[in-house]
Structure 1
Amino acid sequence: MVGEDFSEEQAREYLKQLLPKLDYWKRYEELSDDGQFEAFKQQLINEINELSIEGMPKLENLNALVGKYVNLEYPLPNGKRVKFLDDKTTYLGNQLESEIVDGLCFGVLANMDFIMICTYESDGKNPELLVYKKR
């Protein structure tokens, strides 16, 4: 946000207002005791690594990512483009560089309901959905 016509102070104020309202904090509140949230993240990491996707390195950690910044438009066979995520929801995810194709990244997103893995090029160009798995 900083540098996109917003000062650091404006960005901080915006985030102070936005973060408490995000669905993420409410949905995972019950997991926040006794390390349960970290255990949940580790369970997701294990499930994702068990998929053994060719070229994707082993996932080591998951970060909180706001949907607005990771909600790519995927091309459909009929030529239309569609987004699958909610811009206002926060997901757990990471970006991993392909082990076999230079310039290609794997996008990993997950929550309590699904695991989603895609590939894309620099700046999210040419996204391709590889896995959408209900949990």
Structure 2
Amino acid sequence: MAASICGIDCTKCELSSICNGCMETNGRPFGAECMAALCLEKGEKELCEFKRNLIAAFRALNIEDMEEITELHALKGSLINLEYTLPNEQIIRFWNDDKIYLGNQLSKKGSDRYYGIIADENYLMVSEYSGPGSDAELVAFMRWRQS
């Protein structure tokens, strides 16, 4: 596989066998946008600023028992697109399985549960879950804009 747009070593990625390559697809390795590639079109400084502003937006939610957010990673939608049960019992997913988002998994202090944080250019979400994404609960889902 050719070099990536964001500098990640694609040979170490578990999805490399099904990935079409971001260089070859103009930043759409699975057929949908990649947040890192979108920012990098405007230069590396843009990606760093986007991440910095997004981390600040997550921190502003003041979730006390969430470990500190220090980094965001490019994550394929299918890996983070958990199912949530709404109050009316409807089961829903929020993200596009083929898009690449920015996010991270953070420990919930004093618990064996985790917080998953994920965002694109328009929305950010925080969820809480056990183990490999089971028993997912929506903590926050909101529109955000980079300032």
TM-score of Structure 1 vs Structure 2, range by shorter chain? 0.7 to 0.9
Aligned to 1:89: 99
2:137 matches 1:113: no
Return the TM-score normalized by structure 2.
0.76
Length, aligned pairs only: 124
Aligned to 1:28: 39
Query: Deviation per CA, 1:1-28, whole angstroms, max 9, x where unpaired?
Result: xxxxxxx9x953422x154334116633
The residue correspondences of 1:64-83 to structure 2 (distance < 5 A) are 64-83=74-93
Return the TM-score normalized by structure 1.
0.82
Residues 132, 100 of structure 1: CA spacing in aligned structure 2 closer, same or farther, 3 A cutoff?
same
Name stretches of at least 5 consecutive residues in structure 2 with no aligned partner. Answer: 1-11
Q: Determine what percentage of the aligned residue pairs are the same residue.
A: 28
Name stretches of at least 5 consecutive residues in structure 1 with no aligned partner. Answer: 1-7
Residues 107, 11 of structure 1: CA spacing in aligned structure 2 closer, same or farther, 3 A cutoff?
closer
Query: Deviation per CA, 1:67-100, whole angstroms, max 9, x where unpaired?
Result: 0110000011122211011111111000001112
Q: Would you tell me which structure has more helix in proportion to its own residues?
A: 1
Residues 14, 34 of structure 1: CA spacing in aligned structure 2 closer, same or farther, 3 A cutoff?
closer
Measure, in 2, the Cα distance between the counterparts of 1:11 and 1:34: 24
CA RMSD, 1 decimal: 2.1
